[in-house]
Amino acid sequence: MPDTDLAGSSPAEAFAVLKEGNARFVRGERLHPNQDADRRSAVAPRQHPFAVLFGCSDSRLAAEIIFDRGLGDLFVVRTAGHVAGPEVLGSIEYGVSVLGAPLVVVLGHDSCGAVIAASEADRDGTAPAGYIGDVVERVMPSILSARAAGHTDVDEFVRTHIQRTVDGLVGRSALLAAEIAAGRCAVVGLSYRLADGSVSVITIHGQVPVTANG
């Protein structure tokens, strides 16, 4: 059974636990750690998540399921297209500075609806109405950056958007940048494959070793 309490983990240790959990999920051998009544009672007074998970709101990206974790393990923040406004940055900083999480993961995925919508808006010159248009507008710089680099494939747009989201978090948050520089935190960008459930590393800020296959 995976460790019940991962408080005090290093960025590398936290990432290894997430990767191991995802590997179990892909194999269909989940252990469902920290999902019983004892764990519920243990974390009721306080929480010490070992990772902040900032992901897309897509219903197929349920973090505790695809990383095979449980109560109190992940501090989860989700928005459509993982677009990051001040409230998202504040939530991530809270997870790192107050709750002590040593790892931040940005989780995107293939066939992302927000990325596709931004790509279509760029191509057609029209954006969706209402606040959906605001989401598309925030994704648009990633589309323009990918096209400028010669990319035309949606998966490349997704990769670029994950990269830019990670770079944006670190660039905008002095707190995150300082924690990374001190070796206390790392920010990792991952891309999730909807069909097989696996994640691959897109980018890393901080001290997290990655194997050849990610």
> Average of pLDDT values for 95-109?
98
Q: Which residues contact 119 (CB under 8 A, 6 or more apart)?
A: 143, 154, 157
> Does the residue 41 lie in any domain?
no
Question: pLDDT grade, residue 1 (50/70/90)?
Answer: very low
Among 137, 192, 186, 140, CA closest to 161:
140
- pLDDT exceeds 70 at position 4: no
> Does the residue 17 lie in any domain?
yes
Task: Specify the length of the chain in residues.
Answer: 214
> Does the residue 5 lie in any domain?
no
> Does the residue 93 lie in any domain?
yes
For residue range 23-35, list pLDDT tens digits in order: 999 999 999 999 9
Instruction: Specify the pLDDT at position 127.
Output: 85
Range of the domain at 26: 11-35+46-205
Residue 134 to residue 37: CA distance in whole angstroms: 41
Question: pLDDT grade, residue 7 (50/70/90)?
Answer: confident
Question: pLDDT grade, residue 2 (50/70/90)?
Answer: low
Instruction: Specify the pLDDT at position 161.
Output: 98
CATH number of the domain within which 95 lies: 3.40.1050.10
Q: What is the pTM of this model?
A: 0.94
| SS3 label, residue 135 | helix
For residue range 160-190, list pLDDT tens digits in order: 999 999 999 999 999 999 999 999 999 999 9
Measure the CA angle with vertex 174, ends 79 and 163; round to 5°: 45
> Does the residue 6 lie in any domain?
no
Question: pLDDT grade, residue 208 (50/70/90)?
Answer: confident
Among 162, 150, 65, 30, CA closest to 104:
162
Instruction: Specify the pLDDT at position 16.
Output: 96
Instruction: Specify the pLDDT at position 88.
Output: 98
**Helix segments in 31-188, DSSP class H:** 37-43, 63-66, 86-93, 113-124, 130-148, 154-172, 174-181
